[in-house]
Amino acid sequence: MSEKIIIAADHGGYTLKEALKPFLAQMGFAVTDVGTASDRAVDYPDFGEKAAGAVSTGLFPLGILICGSGVGMSIVANRFPGVRAALCLDEETARLSRMHNNANILVLAGRKTDPETAFRIVRIWLTTPFEGGRHQRRLDKIREIELKPK
């Protein structure tokens, strides 16, 4: 069975989302697209919530979020328990976000990243394993912070 991935974008990420869907399918992923469905202006929290919520509850192991800069979607996604969303503008950050941070949501900038660059980032992100070890200890600390009453 194919690995599942959930994808969402606002209007700033819509075009890149559409370009990524066949690429992800070609990589063997079963893609669930929760919008937006056109380049008409929408609010990124509405779409970020759908995908990050589904990763947070464990419905999907991985997600990709796209807005214009990638910043808004990052802020939304990282409010969800268990979500480690990484805004990646280059291949090195994509690799490190998996190796060191075990990121489970990749955030892309639709207005900064062309499709060819995005394909390279996504391929690296989806194929690089988490290193564990000292990095797991750091993720455990993030989890503790998340669970602390504030």
Closest approach of ligand RB5 to the CB of residue 110, in Å? 7
Rounded Cα gap, residues 12 and 70, in angstroms: 9
Cα four-point dihedral sign 79, 145, 102, 3:
negative
Closest approach of ligand RB5 to the CB of residue 56, in Å? 20
15 vs 102, beta carbon nearer ligand RB5: 15
Rounded Cα gap, residues 141 and 132, in angstroms: 13
Closest approach of ligand RB5 to the CB of residue 62, in Å? 21
Active site (annotated) includes residue 135: no
75 vs 139, beta carbon nearer ligand RB5: 75
Q: Which amino acid is at 24?
A: L
* Residues β-bridged to residue 5: 31
Q: Which amino acid is at 89?
A: L
Strands (E), the chain: 3-9, 29-33, 63-67, 85-87, 105-109
- Closest chain position to ligand RB5 (CB): 72
Site residues, ligand RB5 (CB under 6 A) = 10, 12, 44, 67-69, 71-72
Looking at 4, 21, 100, 135, which residue is catalytic? 100
Closest approach of ligand RB5 to the CB of residue 33, in Å? 17
29 vs 44, beta carbon nearer ligand RB5: 44
Residue closest to 6 by CA, chosen among 116, 104, 80: 104
Catalytic residues: 100
